[in-house]
Amino acid sequence: MSQDLEEIWSRVQAQLALVVDEPTYKIWLEPLRALELRERSVLVAVPNHARRWIQERYGRAIQASVELVLGSGWWLELTGASEQLPRGDSAAQAPGGPAPAQAALRPGPPGNPKLTFEQFVIGDCNRLAHAAALTVAEMPAQAYNPLFICGPPGVGKTHLLSSIANLLLIHAPEMTVRATTGESFTNEFLAALTAGAADRFKARFRDIDVLLLDDVQFLQRKTRTEEEFFHTFNALHDEGRQIVLTSDRPPHDLQALEDRLRERFAAGLIADIHPPDPATRLAILRKRAHHDDIQLADERALEVIATRVQSNIRALEGALIRVVAFSSLSGRPLTCDLAGEVLDSLYPQLPAPGGRAHTVAEIQAATCELFGVSSEELLSTSRATRVAWPRQIAMYLSREITDHSLLTIGREFGGRDHTTVLYACKRASARISSDEPSRLALHRLCTALGCAPPTTP
């Protein structure tokens, strides 16, 4: 396989990872291998036993990804893994049309049908991000550039990114759109350095019209990759090309990222997405049930799921799949009682605000993960802002959702006395009351812990 084909297929796979869920990608699509580039087509090997399944279920998504990478007019050919044709025996040369071993997929609707603007459920938690993403897709580089979409995992960031790509593929097929992830960008850059192909890498990411990069927080603490992305960002922005980024936190919370990158991210529109509220969760379930033609014996079953699963959309849809599977396998109608029974073990009712279900150690671990600080830094005497604020919010939450005294909490935070903890709690309370990003940080921390946030002071 040529180096060019390897690079092309790597980019196709990176796009596929954006438009289908992770389990689907890992099981069905990651094992696919490109065999050769033919005239305006890509020949891809598929396991014989799964060829028809992949063609029917994911053919459109693969086709759309090929077009995003190579441009409109390119199409996909799937061939059985043990039926690979000799080089040059393309379907066009076979008498009577495609050879039996191949399934030729002509261009079809772009992307995964669930990852379009039409399938995105709008609520108060995501209204700004949806409107901004739609504007960018309709008028690239004319409204918000860069657009920075942030929020905790599983709330729809990747859905919006893929929706932009899909809409551009339909209405602006002449534009070159590059969709990737922070991890893929890093891996491709390091591979290019190793292979002495840095110029080719630069051309691939700079000679484009739109860059869609998911999980930009992955670039943190990767000095050479940050440097390369900084120059890529500048080159695109200076030439009026659209840039859309997603992250699990806003730019000012990416403390391990270079200041100059955070400043550029913050210079555009920052659109945050919150975990879905009850009404939005129910609307998402109803749309998914309608889309998948799920037969409900009792509409209230969806209300049970929406009440139990509050963290993110991915978990919400997973819970629905679990309930539907149990109903199908057991032959029992899908009722609210069945939904409650299936979800009891995995999704019990969340503790009420002020509940005492978590330990200080759990809060500290979640805080370190969210803010990108180490446990040693959190417990240290450092008063640097990037450490002091996470420490204060962790102390505040420890006081609110555990039954420990201030003295005990102080011991858990490096042997501090109770007055220090009390001061930290007051500072955190005041900041959360007056500062929206701080309230969002508290919300994300509680979501990670699986508890409801304390009542806003």
Span 251-277, pLDDT tens digits: 988 988 899 999 999 999 999 998 888
Give the Cα separation of 69 and 61 in Å (integer): 13
What's residue 131's pLDDT?
94
Q: Higher pLDDT residue, 361 or 93?
A: 361
The one-letter amino acid code at 143 reads A
What's residue 237's pLDDT?
95
23, pLDDT greater than 70: no
Per the structure, the complete domain to which residue 9 belongs is given by 3-105
* Number of structural domains the chain divides into: 4
What's residue 14's pLDDT?
82
Lowest mean pLDDT among 22-31, 102-111, 292-301, 414-423: 102-111
Q: Higher pLDDT residue, 260 or 310?
A: 260
Predicted confidence band at 97 (pLDDT cuts at 50, 70, 90)?
very low
Predicted confidence band at 355 (pLDDT cuts at 50, 70, 90)?
very low
In DSSP terms, 241 is beta-bridged to none
To which H or E segment does residue 34 belong? strand 33-38
What's residue 87's pLDDT?
35
In a domain, 115, yes or no: no
The answer to whether 152 and 253 have CB atoms below 8 angstroms apart is no
In DSSP terms, 80 is beta-bridged to 46
438, pLDDT greater than 80: yes
In a domain, 80, yes or no: yes
Q: What CATH code is carried by the domain that includes residue 241?
A: 3.40.50.300
**Domain end call among 251, 272, 293:** 272
236, pLDDT greater than 90: yes
The answer to whether 381 and 432 have CB atoms below 8 angstroms apart is no
To which H or E segment does residue 105 belong? strand 102-105
Give the Cα separation of 168 and 137 in Å (integer): 6
- DSSP helix/strand/coil, 89: coil
In a domain, 119, yes or no: no
Predicted confidence band at 214 (pLDDT cuts at 50, 70, 90)?
very high
pTM given for the model: 0.56
Structure-token match 């006081």, residue found: 399
Question: Do 154 and 59 share a domain, yes or no?
Answer: no
Question: Do 173 and 263 share a domain, yes or no?
Answer: yes
- Decide the pairing of beta strands 210-214 and 242-247: parallel
DSSP state of 349: P
Give the Cα separation of 78 and 349 in Å (integer): 47
105, pLDDT greater than 60: no
245, pLDDT greater than 90: yes
Question: Do 27 and 96 share a domain, yes or no?
Answer: yes
Predicted confidence band at 356 (pLDDT cuts at 50, 70, 90)?
very low
Question: Do 164 and 77 share a domain, yes or no?
Answer: no
Query: Checking phi first, is residue 268 left (phi over 0); if not, alpha (psi -120 to 50) or beta?
Result: beta
Lowest mean pLDDT among 86-90, 112-116, 224-228, 270-274: 86-90
In a domain, 353, yes or no: no
**Domain end call among 249, 272, 295:** 272
